[in-house]
Amino acid sequence: MNAIVAVCSDWGIGHKGALLVHSKADMHRFVELTMGGTVVMGRHTLESFPGGPLKGRRNVVITHNPAALPEGVVGVESPAAALEAVAADDPNKVWLIGGESVYRALLDKCTRVFVTKFDVEKPADAFFPNLDDDPAWKVESVQDGGTTTKGTHFSFVTYARQ
C-alpha cells in the first residue's frame, strides 16, 4: 500500500477540510498515480470532493456510518476493516489519501509515500507525520515540480520504508 499527500514545509495538509495549496501539477500527478486503483480515505476527505467519490477508482471510506455513504462506495467502520477490504487488491495500486487520522492509523502499513512538498507554511489544523524526522523512512527520489500559479515552489518527493 502507498500513501499520497500534499504538504506544506511544516507538514500541514489541511485547514477546515480544505487543501492548503492548489496546484494543477499536483492534481494531475494524483490522478495519474491513483487512477485504476483503490483509494482509502476518511468520510471528511470523501465529503471534500466536489464531484463525490473519485471516478475510475474503487473508493473505500472509513466511517462510523457506512450506510450513509453514496452508492458504489465501500464503507468500513475501522482502519482494520479497511485493510480487510483491500487485502485482495494489488498493494501497489492501493492508496491512502487522507485525512490525518487515516494517515496516522495506516501509514505503518505503507511501503511508499508520494509527497508533494510545497515550500510555504499556511495555517493548518491537520498534519501529516514528518517523514524527514522518522528513521523508518528514507527519501527515494526528488523531482522538481516547478511553481504554482501563485508562485509557490514545490517538489515531488518519494519516501520508501526502510
- Cell 452508492 sits on residue: 71
**C-alpha of 94 from chain center:** 11
CATH code of the domain in which 100 resides: 3.40.430.10
Q: How many domains does the chain have?
A: 1
- pTM of the full structure: 0.97
- Cell 470532493 sits on residue: 49
The pairing of beta strand 12-15 with beta strand 18-19? antiparallel
pLDDT tens sequence across 7-61? 999 999 999 999 999 999 999 999 999 999 999 999 999 999 999 999 999 999 9
Q: Residue 20's domain spans which residues? A: 2-161
Sheet holding 153-161, edge to edge: 74-76, 58-62, 38-42, 94-98, 2-8, 112-118, 153-161, 137-147
